[in-house]
Structure 1
Amino acid sequence: MRKLTSWLLILSSALLLASFVSPVGGQLVITSSFGEFRGTGNRGPHFHMGSDFSTQMRSGVPILAAADGWLVRIEIDEDDIYGNVVVLQHENGFRTLYAHLSGFAEQIKDVVNSVVSEFGKRRIVVEFPERSIWFKAGEAIGYSGQTGEAAQPHCHFEIRNSDETICYNPSDMLSVPKPADARFTVRGLIIDGERFDYVENRVYRFRGPWPKIAVDAVTSVGRNVIGLRSLKLYFDKDLVYHIDLGEIRLDEFNNVWAVYTENSVADGYRYSAYYKLYPDRVSSVVKFNKFPELGQLPSRTNVSIVCEDVWGNEYELKFVLERR
């Protein structure tokens, strides 16, 4: 039974990976990942609920349906976080959302022009009858832009469940090539509020029964930084805490302080976000938390933080904690 279950899980994962094609023509280049911290926008600090893909900073690039599906709605709004939006429903049970669009596909333009002429520049949401307007995989649903809070034109792409209560990590369901210049980078470590450079096997001091550890770690790709897929904290090889950014509920859109420290910054040009590896607020992305039963750590503890990038590669940070 265990072998059958494992096989079914592998098959299910393979089907998910095959479910979607690139929403951008040519080489798919990721510029921001799912679950990253965002500090700007009129909805306040929030999780990045999709992945961003490059259009080489050009507006007007066709944005493509990632699978066969019908039009659920369009959102016409240049000022909201998402800007202009198209949402499709797919036979596989998922919905996809495409944001920051500069324009819409030809078969939608008449509707857009009609409602804009009637209602003007205010936010407009138009819902469509089920299965009334279809798009084939690879067909343009709109064009890249920087409506909403986008600093540069790009493709913002989300995968949601059919009732739009959960967003899923697109990197788990798309074939996203790893750039040749991608490198894992640890940019800082915080222990009990004090900042340090990370040095492998270094001894760091802490107070109290156990330390509050936070780490700023990313994948650097050229001038972009890509957030992590998951982090696991071990004390003396014992798993203590696990953050997994495979999915985020929509009702946790603003619950970023459960995962990131409050000095995190992301404004389109700067990105510095420390992942909290200790319990602070309740979040569904925290998959394992042993701190309530941990008690007091020994005076000297070996620490390991296993970081997984969006391509499934793992990197281990190792250091030692000693009580002051």
Structure 2
Amino acid sequence: MRKILSIITFLFFIFFHQVIYTQLPPDSVNFRSPVGIPLLLAGNFGELRPNHFHSGLDIKTNGSEGYRIYAIEDGYVSRIKVSPWGYGKVLYVTHPNGYTSVYAHLKSFKGKIAEYVKKAQLKNETWEIELYPPDSVLPVKKGDIIALSGNTGGSTAPHLHFEIRETESEFPVNPMLFGFDIKDNIAPLLTKIAFYPLNDSSIVYGKKEKRSYGLRRISGNNYQIAGNLTIEAYGKIGVGIETIDKMNETYNKYAVYEITLLENKDTIYYHQMKQFSFDNTRYVNALMDYEWYKLRKGKIQRSYLLPNNELSIYKKLKNNGEISIKQGETRNFTYILNDIYGNSSKLNFTIKGRKNKVRESEVSAMPTKYFEWEKRNLLTEENIIADFPAKTFYENIAFEFAVTDTFPNAITPTYHLHSDLTPVHIPYVLSIKVDSLPRLLREKAVIVHKDFKGKLRAKSSERRRNYITAKVKTLGDFFVMLDTIAPVIKPITIANGKNMRKNSGIMLKISDNLSGIKSYRGEIDGKFVIMEYEYKDATVTHWFDGITPGKHHFKFTVTDDAGNTSVYEADFYY
């Protein structure tokens, strides 16, 4: 009898566990809105961003901070992070239906959540913190106010970044599948089409290079290539489309939900932006025409796969989306683009097979190196080593390398590693030799990247024997510079001897000339105080909370990535 009862108890536990934790389909979930104002979006799920897909909805907050943020369902706060970068102040709430909701760029947390974070910051003596509370510590009910909206982290304007993730996999899921009240009866807009020769014998209009053409709406939501042009091509080619979606009552541009390329009724390519993995989000660089984006800020989406592309958004492919055009044949194709509400646009176009002779001037020069994407590639030249792991690139690269004169204030020549218009998927190790540099100065040496626009960006660098080394995720121009100048501290609200009773806190501005801010610390009367760092306006702020009347001593220390340190001290009264 006991054995039977044990089996029944075990089976009940398994059943109960599955009922509680099995993920429900989106259309059976009844989430409330995370805000108390109409849902108007600044950005939607799946937008193509630099090196990643947008993983949620950017909800407008009327250009202001401080709107109440509500828990969309019962659950518990499972993760909290405070950072000057990325999501800024962010909350993760795990729900019993298999989903986790995410609320980012917050101005502040509310109630017990705020108390929990502050206690942890003081205990660990750091403002930047990441916490994983046990499920019993911070329970929330649907509709609880958990935070106020803000503009922290990488946000460029006040809004709420809102996500829904599968709790088990942590894959972000398109929140618009959950029935939130968002108005949209506008079909996607089509702006460009591009054709790509995919091997040495392929051409488009007699050239072995990408050709792009504008699109024109002809009736309703039907489009054609401007001038009703028939494309002449030969060999293996790929096609790409530039498109945006629109919504009611906003001026913003959004991502489409589905892209389908047909030949007659035969599907060549079909992708859907339902969900993706954060581990694979950088493969966005293989989906979009990276060079086109960097040069023109346009977003042409390839309807064929580059060799190194592990995205899971592809639902149907024929020959990986590649199209083989023979001499003299005529082929008819159709693009269908849908948003998540079923609004649809269509483009019909024709390709005629024609093998034009390629002019001698069109033939590419021989590259310095030829790198295969599946293999480790090592560039070893005088005074420089670049070690590219397998799958660094999205396709085989005719790699170009050159050395030119020293950039002003640099201590090495400029090393040209191909072009930063070519994307890199994973970090590679770059080492530049500085054997003539005295040992004491090597601690101040950093590798600097100069992009195609001339912008300089220092890389976090290490000193290994006679080399300065950094892990980098971009190609382009590199050299070594010295950072011997300490960060600058500029007091904003404090001065020595000042009475601070009328001030809500202490604010400073901090800046560094090259390597960047690495760490900082504030103290009042020798004890750590929380100081919030807002890199967008270069401020650090301590908000007074329970400070006693009388004389106090404030000390602030900041160090850059090259080890240079500055200190500011002042007495003040309160």
State the TM-score, normalized to the length of structure 1. Answer: 0.85
For the residue of structure 2 that corresponds to 1:23, the secondary structure is: coil
Matched length? 302
Find out whether 1:283 has 2:294 as its counterpart: no
Task: Indicate the residue corresponding to 2:229 in structure 1.
Answer: 203
Alignment partner, residue 75 of structure 2:
69
CA distance in 2 between counterparts of 1:279 and 1:69 reads: 40
The 3-state SS of whatever aligns with 2:237 is coil
Structure 1 residues 240, 154: closer, same or farther in 2, change over 3 A? same
SS of the residue 2:182 aligns to: coil
Q: Distance in 1 between matches of 2:254 and 2:320?
A: 31
Shift of 1:176: 3.6
Separation in 1, partners of 2:272, 2:138: 36
Counterpart residue identity of residue 241, structure 2: V
Aligned to 1:214: 240
- Aligned pairs for 1:1-324 (under 5 A) are 12=25, 14-15=27-28, 18-39=29-50, 45-79=51-85, 81-120=86-125, 123-179=128-184, 182=186, 184-192=188-196, 193-199=210-216, 200-201=223-224, 202-221=228-247, 222-263=250-291, 265=293, 272-280=298-306, 281-292=309-320, 296-297=324-325, 299-324=329-354
- For 2:63 and 2:276, locate their aligned partners in 1 and report how far apart those are by CA, in whole Å: 28
Gaps of 5+ in 2: 1-23, 197-209, 217-222, 355-574
Query: Which of 1 and 2 has higher RCO (CA within 8 Å, sep 6+)?
Result: 1
Q: Percent identity?
A: 25
Say whether the 8 Å CA contact 2:188–2:343 is kept in structure 1: no
Q: Which amino acid aligns with 1:262?
A: Y
Rate the CA distance shift 1:101–1:59 in 2: closer, same or farther, 3 A: same
Cα distance change on mapping 1:293 and 1:258 into 2, 3 Å: closer
- In 2 relative to 1, CA 217–130 (structure 1 residues): closer, same or farther, beyond 3 Å? same
Residues 164 and 250 in structure 1, CA contact (< 8 A), matched pair in contact too: no
- Unaligned segments of structure 1, at least 5 residues: 1-10, 40-44
Confirm or deny: 8 A CA contact 1:102 1:143 kept in the other structure: yes
C-alpha distance after superposition, 1:248-305 (max 9, x if no partner): 0121121212321113549xxx963221111112311112110259773462211111
Distance 1:209 1:20, change over 3 A: farther
**SS of residue matched to 1:247:** coil
Residues 265, 273 of structure 1: 8 Å contact kept = yes
Say which is worse superposed, 114-123 or 240-249, in terms of deviation: 114-123
Supply the distance in 2 between the matched residues of 1:290 and 1:316 (Cα, whole angstroms). 20
CA change 1:121–1:78 in 2 (3 A) is farther
- Give me the whole-angstrom Cα distance separating, in 2, the residues matched to 1:295 and 1:229: 23
| d(CA) in 1 for partners of 2:120, 2:323 | 61
Using structure 2 for the length normalisation, give the TM-score: 0.50
How far residue 12 of structure 1 moved from its aligned partner, in angstroms, is 4.6
The answer on whether the counterparts of 1:38 and 1:265 sit within 8 Å (CA) in structure 2 is: no
Deviations 1:79-136 (Å, cap 9, x if unpaired)?
A: 2x11111001111011111111111121211122223334455531111111332222
Task: Specify whether residues 120 and 214 from structure 1 end up closer, same or farther in structure 2 by C-alpha distance, changes over 3 A only.
Answer: farther
Report SS of the residue matched to 2:34.
coil
Matched position secondary structure for 1:248 = coil
Q: What amino acid sits opposite 2:45 in the alignment?
A: F
Bigger shift: 67-76 or 314-323? 314-323
Alpha-carbon separation, structure 2, partners of 1:53 and 1:273: 22
Relative distance call for 1:229 and 1:295 in structure 2 (3 A) is closer
Q: Is the 8 A contact 1:88 1:96 kept in 2?
A: yes
Relative to structure 1, the CA distance from residue 290 to residue 183 in structure 2 (aligned partners, 3 Å threshold; closer, same or farther) is: closer
SS in structure 1 at match of 2:119: helix
**Displacement, 1:138?**
2.2
Residues 1:12 and 1:87: Cα distance change in structure 2 (over 3 Å)? closer
Please give the alpha-carbon distance, in whole angstroms, between the structure 2 residues aligned to 1:24 and 1:154. 11
Given that 1:22 and 1:174 are in contact with CA atoms closer than 8 Å, whether structure 2 keeps it comes out as no
Q: Conserved in 2, the CA contact under 8 Å of 1:302 and 1:319?
A: yes
Whichever residue aligns with residue 337 of structure 2, its letter is C
Aligned to 1:151, what secondary structure does the other structure show? Answer: coil
Q: Distance in 2 between matches of 1:294 and 1:272?
A: 22
Asked whether the 8 Å contact 2:27–2:179 carries over to 1, the reply is no
Q: How far, CA to CA, are the matches of 1:264 and 1:140 in structure 2?
A: 43
Residue 6 (structure 1) aligns with: none
Say whether the 8 Å CA contact 1:46–1:253 is kept in structure 2: yes
Distance change >3 Å, CA 38–CA 62, structure 1 → 2: same
Q: CA deviation at 1:20?
A: 1.6
For the pair shown, the structure with the greater C-alpha radius of gyration is: 2
Counterpart residue number, 1:42: none
Structure 2: distance between partners of 1:216 and 1:294:
18
CA distance in 2, matches of 1:29, 1:307: 22
The answer as to whether partners of 2:188 and 2:344 remain within 8 angstroms in 1 is: no
CA distance in 2, matches of 1:110, 1:25: 24
